[in-house]
A = this chain, B = another copy of it.
């Protein structure tokens, strides 16, 4: 359970948001909404423990995430606004390395299956630099099939994906929720989430 209390974020002396309170429980998806520059990314980075809030607390399973960083980080999958790939590694190596560095042990077969899923199996040995924008995003997406960590924080995961890929991601999110996971995400393509948007948080900007 992720509990956020009285969160406040200042950026360059400007208050992006304050008094943000919410709870995300198992099987819940939180859709953070708001116009450009309203602080969605800033909020997600705080939730991931990457930056510190001006005031307020974020706690995971009852402990403050900045105090119990290592435990928290083991339960968290964060996907920032970039796909976080190394251009010089191949598609397969990228997937391998991201999962290993996150502490996930998986069989090579399941890596292949994940690539198959996002339609990159044939590109497995191509350096990531040669992928198109959308293919890069798909590669980042692939890690979701390897990951059983309960809390997913995804910043604009639908960007640059074509329609089939969007559908694929939606179904993966549904399975994750059904398995008892939690998701916090942002997206401007609101229609997409109509089906499962259980809660929404509005940052008014």
Q: Bound complex: CA of A126 vs CA of B12, how far in Å?
A: 10
A132, B12: Cβ atoms closer than 8 Å:
no
Inside 8 A of A188's CB, which chain B residues have their CB? Answer: 134, 160-163, 166
Q: Bound complex: CA of A137 vs CA of B130, how far in Å?
A: 23
Of the listed stretches A34-42, A46-54, A99-107, A108-116, name the one at the interface; the rest are far from the partner chain.
A34-42
B164, A160: Cβ atoms closer than 8 Å:
no
Which of B36, B132, B138, B162 lies in contact with A132, CB distance below 8 A?
A: B36
A160, B156: Cβ atoms closer than 8 Å:
yes
The smallest beta-carbon distance between A154 and chain B, in angstroms, is 14
Inside 8 A of A40's CB, which chain B residues have their CB? Answer: 132
B159, A37: Cβ atoms closer than 8 Å:
no
Q: Bound complex: CA of A7 vs CA of B33, how far in Å?
A: 42
Q: Bound complex: CA of A191 vs CA of B190, how far in Å?
A: 13
Given contacts A12-B130, A130-B11, A133-B81, contact A36 B156 (CB under 8 A): no
B163, A190: Cβ atoms closer than 8 Å:
yes
Most chain B beta-carbon neighbours within 10 Å: one of A12, A36, A191: A36
B162, A159: Cβ atoms closer than 8 Å:
no
A165, B130: Cβ atoms closer than 8 Å:
no
Interface presence of A94 (CB below 8 A): no
Inside 8 A of A133's CB, which chain B residues have their CB? Answer: 36, 41, 81, 156
Binary B-proximity of A122-153 (CB < 8 A = 1, otherwise 0): 01001000111111011000000000000000
Binary B-proximity of A3-44 (CB < 8 A = 1, otherwise 0): 000000001100000000000000000000011111111000
State the 5 A-B residue pairs at the shortest beta-carbon distance, nearest first.
Answer: A36-B134, A37-B132, A37-B135, A35-B162, A162-B188
Not counting A36-B132, A163-B190, a sample of 5 additional A-B residue pairs whose C-beta atoms are within 8 angstroms of each other reads A11-B130, A12-B130, A34-B162, A37-B131, A40-B132
